[in-house]
Structure 1
Amino acid sequence: MEGVPAIFPCEKDRAQFRQHDELPGVELYQAHISRYAFEPHTHEAFGIGTIESGAQRFRYRGAQYTAPRHSLVMMNPDELHTGESACEEGWRYQMIYIQPDDMAQLTGDRGWWFSEALRTDVRLALPLSQTLSALWQAESPLARQSLLGELLAQLRPLARMAEKGKEEGGHRFDRVRDYLRDNLAEPIRLEELAAQAALSPWHFLRAFRARYHVTPHQMLMAYRLYQAKLLLARGLPAASVAASVGLSDQAHLTRAFAQRYGITPVRYQKQVRGAR
């Protein structure tokens, strides 16, 4: 695409996104990555996918994972994570992202939750991989809706129905995360966040890092870029998106967006809007 700078250091690397009007709250993704390392980011959606070749290394909920070929990756909403290659050839993978409310509406079950982030089992991963591929290639709305139903039926035995809030009982940092989301475009100071958790600034900083394995600024940037992703998918211009999420200009948005999603905002917007 003319005017869109290359993001990946390796020419064969790519990332593609798709959204469809008949699948609200659902985003499809395919990629091959060999040298790129994704900074901490969030999708605020269930992220389920399979490793098609190679191997991926990622950090999720404070633990380090290595996912080889025929692995099934299952991430819960609002969980920061990273991603990088675990082998010389990189890794090829496909994902589906589903918003929690849409998951509940599609299945009739509330409180979906995956206890395991990684399952390396060809008997589980291969059927899911085939369904994801068919969903990507499907050419009609009815075919895509049918395949999504099949995919959810495959995933249902791997999930448990438990409300996240009930499971974890809430935490003082929940208020901090809400404050970050509510003030994306504001110049937030450490003292403000510490006050939300009723801690001194430096005690807060240590405790926050120990819990989430990222700094408050990294989490804020993850929320800003996810909100930017939603606004771009709605068709808003990149420059206005940058301003609305608290970034200095479109160039800042482009750099930060690519570091977390491996694609420029303009290219992402063309992909998801073009599919529609």
Structure 2
Amino acid sequence: MDQQHALIEKPAGRGDFARLWREARFDGMECLNARFQRHSYAPHTHETYVVGVITAGTELYRCRGSDRVAQAGQVVVLDPDVLHDGRPAADGYAYRMFYPSVGLFEQAMADATGRPVAPHFPAMELDDPELFLLIRGLHHGLEDPHREPLRTDTDAMRAFTLLAFRHGDLTARPLPAGREPVAVRRAREYLDAHLDDPVELAELAEAAGLSRFHLLRVFRAAVGTTPHGYLTDRRVARAKRLLAGPLPLAEVALACGFCDQAHFNRVFKGRVGVSPGQYRRGSNPIQDVLVSAA
């Protein structure tokens, strides 16, 4: 049973909320953002893993022959084909869940260890603040239409591999990272050449000649940030140069690979501390008339 059918079998009650969607880029992975005060799940299983975070309240459920409690701040993980139900405690609960396929985990593990293994997770409720933030951030990101594919791919690889290595039963460990200066140089050159394009992690890894997992490790070790962080910094640097000229802000945004002007404003201010318009006025006062006209 997939999560959509689990919800249909016992629909959300009055005052409950549930949003379910699929992510084609992650093998059709189902994603659920829900808040339940009344809704109870009938016992069911999934062909996929169940991975998520409890963001508020308390969920009660029965699994593997015992009554379980998952509380706000915890990560929840279940292996495929494990029978479970779910219901709210008195305070209700909110959660963000992923249902990644076995193949998706195997692909991530092949990138990280060289072997397409599917991990088993002995514990179901995990107290792991770092992992909690990664999973919650990835889930929020998938609801953001402005989230760039390179950021999303990076967050997913980090979240699922950290979960597997830290809490799975894996005997295989990550391949040695090494320094890989040639691969890092190729990755930087590829990013520099695609500042105005959406970049996929798989494409970048292919250009560098490394697996996605290996690239993320060696790039951060060599450059001090992720490929997405580097790409964002380079885009902001280009935007600063263009803001000295007459291009309207919307055209500067597109020339630097931002989805639209709102996305440009948010990212630029996050890096520089002022909006693009404020930066233009401060660095090139004679452009004030052009900015006002735009």
Structure with the larger RCO, 1 or 2 (CA within 8 Å, 6+ apart): 1
Task: Determine the structure 2 residue equivalent to 1:155.
Answer: 163
| Paired residues for 1:62-211 under 5 Å | 62-88=65-91, 90-108=92-110, 109-137=116-144, 139=146, 140-156=148-164, 157-161=166-170
TM-score w.r.t. the length of structure 1 is: 0.51
> Could you tell me how far 1:52 is from its partner in structure 2?
0.3
For residues 123 and 22 of structure 1, do their structure 2 counterparts lie closer, same or farther at Cα, with a shift above 3 Å needed?
closer
- Residues in 2 aligned to 1:148 and 1:69: alpha-carbon distance in whole angstroms: 22
**Equivalent AA in structure 2 for residue 110 of structure 1:** V
Structure 1 residue 25: Cα displacement: 4.3
Residues 60 and 86 in structure 2, CA contact (< 8 A), matched pair in contact too: yes
**Offset, 1:75:** 0.3
Structure 1, residues 141-168: CA drift from partner, whole Å, max 9, x if none? 4443222112113312111237xxxxxx
- What residue number does 1:52 align with? 55
Q: Which runs of 4+ in 1 moved over 3 A?
A: 120-124, 138-143
Question: Quick one: distance in 2 between partners of 1:137 and 1:43?
Answer: 26
Contact in 1 for aligned 2:134/2:159 (Cα 8 Å): no
How high is the TM-score relative to the length of structure 2? 0.48
Equivalent residues, number: 156
Q: Could you tell me how far apart the structure 1 residues matched to 2:163 and 2:127 are?
A: 15
Would you say the 8 A contact 2:55–2:73 is kept in 1?
yes
Q: Does the 8 A contact of 1:46 with 1:99 survive in 2?
A: yes
Q: Which moved more, 1:60-69 or 1:127-136?
A: 127-136
Change (3 A) 1:21 1:30: same
Q: Distance in 1 between matches of 2:118 and 2:128?
A: 25
> 1:129 aligns to what SS in structure 2?
helix
Per-residue deviation, 1:124: 4.1
| Structure having the higher Rg | 2
Q: Which amino acid aligns with 1:152?
A: F
Structure 2 unpaired stretches of 5+: 1-7, 111-115, 172-294
2: CA distance between counterparts of 1:124 and 1:94?
13
Aligned partners of 2:131 and 2:163 also within 8 Å: no
Question: How far apart are residue 17 of structure 1 and its match?
Answer: 1.4
Amino acid at match of 1:150: R
SS at match of 2:23: coil
Distance 1:53 1:114 in 2: 23
Partner Cα distance (1:123, 1:155) in 2: 10
Structure 1 unaligned regions, length at least 5: 163-276
Query: What secondary structure does 2:122 align onto?
Result: coil
Which shifted more, 103-112 or 51-60?
103-112
